Amino acid sequence: MQCHKCAAVVKQGAEKCGKCGVVRKKMLDEIKKSSIGMDENVAAASSYAFLFLSGLFFLAVERKSRFVRFHALQGAVTLFVVFVTNIALAFVPGFGILLAIVLWLLNLILIVNLFLKALSGEWYMLPVVGRWAWRWATAEKP
């Protein structure tokens, strides 16, 4: 097995990585496939790739994986709100453009962080949207 953080070889059944000491989460050989045939972590990370559109795509096509649906919903809602806020700030006279640029840079950092967390198999929750997305994604569907 490989550590999800440093990619070091980890003994079967080990609880921690011997190299970096990280507690075992999902090791790379334990990752499941989503209903669309992608690895769950890759599909979840991809839901952050193209603003809110990729999140909407994975919400529409993924039926089985709660992990993918969680990240797709969290990404779609969060990135849509940031997108609309950025457009609104661009029309504010004065410092609006400057604020929009700063928000865009912060959004880029957020996207990269969420992408990497999903790729490593973490159920990383943003403060408000994350809890809501988790409740929705883990609820039993008829």
Name residues whose C-beta falls within 8 Å of residue 47's C-beta, 6 or more positions apart in sequence: 54, 55, 57, 58, 68, 71, 72, 75, 76, 118
| Domain regions of the chain by residue span | 1-30, 32-138
Residue 129: closest CA among 118, 140, 137, 139: 137
pLDDT tens-digit map of 51-62? 888 888 988 888
Task: Count the neighbouring beta carbons within 10 Å of the beta carbon of residue 34.
Answer: 22
- Structural contact between residues 139 and 69, judged by C-beta atoms closer than 8 angstroms: no
142 pLDDT exceeds 80?
Answer: no
CA distance linking residue 24 with residue 22, whole number of Å = 6
At 90, the pLDDT band (50, 70, 90 cuts) reads confident
Query: Does residue 39 have a pLDDT over 80?
Result: yes
Task: Name the band, by pLDDT with cuts 50, 70 and 90, for residue 29.
Answer: very low
